[in-house]
A and B are shown apart, each in its own frame.
Chain A
Amino acid sequence: IAGITQAPTSQILAAGRRMTLRCTQDMRHNAMYWYRQDLGLGLRLIHYSNTAGTTGKGEVPDGYSVSRANTDDFPLTLASAVPSQTSVYFCASSEHPGQGYNEQFFGPGTRLTVL
């Protein structure tokens, strides 16, 4: 059982290029999340999906888009990368959104550098 996988592990990208970060989970979790983690700051939510077919905006959605065509996959796209999007990106999932003991499981992360 892999849990959550992310690809690529790391990437160096020229500013202005389009990039899709991939995320796949095999736990049949309903909810999925994309975070970015920057030094000195907490994890910040970019976009989330409470169930397949629905998505929502988090704290820092500008410059990013997501889709949730099925339960397992939740790709994050940077339409035109900028240097401020240099960060470590984590995908996470939880069995259900919302209440109760409902921990989030994290993928290994993608380290993205935009030059």
Chain B
Amino acid sequence: GQNIDQPTEMTATEGAIVQINCTYQTSGFNGLFWYQQHAGEAPTFLSYNVLDGLEEKGRFSSFLSRSKGYSYLLLKELQMKDSASYLCAVRDSNYQLIWGAGTKLIIKP
């Protein structure tokens, strides 16, 4: 079966750095996405990786290792507004997105 695993919840301090991990087992791989979802709102796109390595976009970076079935999202200089759920999704061999359950990130002052 297809499976995407992320931690359910993480807590971090304002101004710090946090890494959210995602491991996946899917039928095929055609890219990995990270989305942010604030409570009661729609998911919004953060990053896309299809090749191994690190993609940096401002305070957010995303890493992929296809051989290990592993990705992480790195958030730097955390702000209170970063409190949200972070969703990992893999595009499978049918080009559909398979979603993890999301990681709820709590930022403390």
Interface residues, chain A, with chain B CB atoms under 8 Å away: 35, 40-45, 48, 58, 90, 97-101, 103-109
Q: Which residues of B contact A104 (CB under 8 A)?
A: 45, 97
CA distance A100 to B100 in the complex (A): 20
CA distance A80 to B33 in the complex (A): 34
| Minimum CB–CB distance for A5 against chain B, Å | 11
Could you show 24 A-B contacts with beta carbons less than 8 Å apart? Answer: A40-B101, A42-B89, A42-B98, A42-B99, A43-B43, A43-B97, A45-B97, A48-B96, A90-B43, A98-B30, A98-B95, A99-B31, A99-B95, A100-B31, A101-B48, A101-B50, A103-B33, A103-B45, A104-B97, A105-B45, A106-B43, A106-B44, A108-B41, A108-B42
**Other contacts beyond A97-B95, A106-B44: 10, CB < 8 A:** A42-B98, A42-B102, A43-B99, A45-B96, A45-B97, A101-B48, A103-B48, A104-B45, A106-B43, A109-B42
Q: How many residues of B contact A (CB 8 A)?
A: 21
Q: Which residues of A contact B89 (CB under 8 A)?
A: 42-43
Q: Which residues of A contact B107 (CB under 8 A)?
A: none
Across the interface, do A42 and B87 meet the contact criterion of CB distance under 8 Å? yes
Whether a CB of chain A sits under 8 angstroms from the CB of B4 is: yes
Q: Which residues of B contact A45 (CB under 8 A)?
A: 96-97
Q: Identify the closest chain A residue to B4 (Cβ).
A: A42
CA distance A40 to B104 in the complex (A): 11
Q: Which residues of A contact B48 (CB under 8 A)?
A: 101, 103
